[in-house]
Structure 1
Amino acid sequence: MEIDKLEGRNPVMEALRAGREVDKILVLKGASEGSIKKIIGAAKDKGIPIQYVEKAKLNELSESDSHQGVIAFVAAHHYSTVEDIVEKAKKNNKEPFILLLDEIMDPHNLGSIMRTADAVGVDGIIIPKRRSVGLTAVVAKTSAGAVEYVPVAKVSNIAQTIDKLKDEGIWVAGADMSGEKEHYYQDLKGPIALVIGSEGKGISRLIKEKCDFIVKLPMVGKIESLNASVAAAILMYEVFRQRSMKG
Structure 2
Amino acid sequence: DQGVAADLECPNHQLLDDFLANPPEENYSLIALDGITNPQNLGMIIRSVTASPCHGILLPKQGTAAISPLVIKASAGTLFKSTLIHCDSLEQALTQLTKQGATCCTLSSHSKQSLSELQVATPIIYVLGNETEGVSKKVSNLCTAQVRIPMSNGVESLNVAVTAALLAFRHQL
The answer to whether TM tops 0.5 is: yes
- Segment drifting more, 109-118 vs 125-134: 125-134
Gaps in structure 1 of 5+ consecutive residues = 1-56, 62-71, 242-247
CA deviations over 1:200-231 (Å, ceiling 9, x no partner): 11111221121110111112234422110011
Deviation at residue 239 of structure 1 after TM alignment = 3.4
Counterpart of 1:218 in structure 2 is: 150
Q: Output the TM-score relative to the length of structure 2.
A: 0.85
Q: 1:162–1:170: structure 2 CA closer, same or farther, 3 Å change rule?
A: same
Counterpart of 2:17 in structure 1 is: 83
Higher RCO (CA < 8 A, seq sep 6+):
2
Q: How does 1:95-244 map to 2 (within 5 A)?
A: 95-188=27-120, 190-241=122-173
Q: 1:194–1:239: structure 2 CA closer, same or farther, 3 Å change rule?
A: farther
Deviation at residue 240 of structure 1 after TM alignment = 3.5
For the residues of structure 2 that align with 1:87 and 1:141, how far apart are their CA atoms?
Answer: 32
CA deviations over 1:134-170 (Å, ceiling 9, x no partner): 2111111111222112232343321221110011211
Deviation at residue 126 of structure 1 after TM alignment = 1.7
- Segment drifting more, 100-109 vs 179-188: 179-188
Q: 1:145–1:211: structure 2 CA closer, same or farther, 3 Å change rule?
A: same
The SS at the match of 2:31 is strand
Deviation at residue 176 of structure 1 after TM alignment = 1.7
Count of aligned pairs between the two proteins:
171
Runs of 4+ off more than 3 Å? 76-79, 86-90
The SS at the match of 1:221 is coil
The answer to whether the 8 Å contact 1:102/1:204 transfers is yes
Query: Comparing both structures, which one devotes a greater share of its residues to helix?
Result: 1
The answer to whether the 8 Å contact 1:100/1:193 transfers is yes
Greater C-alpha radius of gyration: 1
CA deviations over 1:34-63 (Å, ceiling 9, x no partner): xxxxxxxxxxxxxxxxxxxxxxx7xxx7xx
The SS at the match of 1:214 is strand
Q: How does 1:61-72 map to 2 (within 5 A)?
A: none
Q: Output the TM-score relative to the length of structure 1.
A: 0.62
For the residues of structure 2 that align with 1:88 and 1:103, how far apart are their CA atoms?
Answer: 26
- Segment drifting more, 160-169 vs 184-193: 184-193
Measured on the aligned residues, the alpha-carbon RMSD in Å equals 2.4
In structure 2, give the amino acid aligned to 1:201: E
For the residues of structure 2 that align with 1:221 and 1:146, how far apart are their CA atoms?
Answer: 34
Q: 1:188–1:229: structure 2 CA closer, same or farther, 3 Å change rule?
A: farther
For the residues of structure 2 that align with 1:188 and 1:109, how far apart are their CA atoms?
Answer: 28
Q: 1:240–1:82: structure 2 CA closer, same or farther, 3 Å change rule?
A: farther
